[in-house]
Amino acid sequence: MYSAVKQILAEIDHVLSAVDTNEVDALLNAIVNAHTVIVYGLGREGLVMKSFAMRLAHLGVPTAVVGDMTAPPARPGDLFLVSCGPGYLSTVEALVGVAQHAGARVAMITAMPAAALPRRADQLLVLPAQTMAQREGSSSNQPMGSVLEQAMWVLFDAMVPMLQVRLGQSVDEMRARHTNME
């Protein structure tokens, strides 16, 4: 079993070592400067996006998740942070259009930056990983885009302390924003 874990960690490391730090920095700036960060993703990518939204809320960043009945409308000054690993999903295409029509900026996490939909985004964060749309074994021994989702999770968790510094947030301030309704 340990060899399987080492292989997965090596795949995640391979993907993250290829991420452009300028794209990460631009995303950090966009988050800090946004009025509200509205997140969206489908499937396991969506779970990662929701986990990041939770941490953004802990950081004091006004955050909403598409589909939550309390999500506000997108508007100018907002950031629509969307995951679209395979480069095209019809739901993402529709929501990008809604966000842009409302005047929000669009930041997209993708593995396929040359696809038409990612080219519509205001900014990209490229995670060069195998996606669900690619044949298994093309760059990963894991099935169905798992390494993309794992790399997203690790990258977002690494961005939290960076945002903490940029926003001047202490751990105590973050902890105070954690729900007490558990």
Q: What tens digit of pLDDT does each residue of 116-167 get?
A: 999 999 999 999 987 666 555 556 666 555 889 999 999 999 999 999 999 9
- For residue 135, the model assigns a pLDDT of 57
Q: How far apart are CA 38 and CA 159, in angstroms?
A: 17
Lowest mean pLDDT segment, chosen from 43-47, 66-70, 93-97, 126-130: 126-130
Catalytic option among 11, 23, 93, 149 = 149
> What integer pLDDT is reported at residue 152 of this predicted model?
96
List the beta strands (DSSP E) in 42-127: 63-65, 79-83, 105-110, 123-126
pTM for the whole thing?
A: 0.93
Domains of the chain in sequence order: 2-129+140-167 (3.40.50.10490)
Residues 148 and 134 sit within 8 Å (Cβ to Cβ): no
pLDDT computed for residue 100 by the predictor? 98
Question: What residues are paired with 117 via a beta bridge?
Answer: none
User: For position 2, what pLDDT does the model report?
Assistant: 77
pLDDT value, residue 130: 74
Annotation marks residue 45 as catalytic: no
Q: Is residue 105 helix, strand or coil? A: strand
Question: Quick one: pLDDT at residue 92?
Answer: 98
* Residue 178 DSSP code: S
Please answer whether residues 115 and 141 qualify as being in contact, where contact means their C-beta atoms are separated by less than 8 angstroms.
Answer: no
pLDDT in tens, 7-63: 889 889 999 999 999 999 999 999 999 999 999 999 999 999 999 999 999 999 999
Residue 123 is predicted with a pLDDT of 97
Helix (H, G, I), strand (E, B) or coil at 13: helix
Full strand arrangement of the beta sheet holding 123-126: 63-65, 37-40, 79-83, 105-110, 123-126
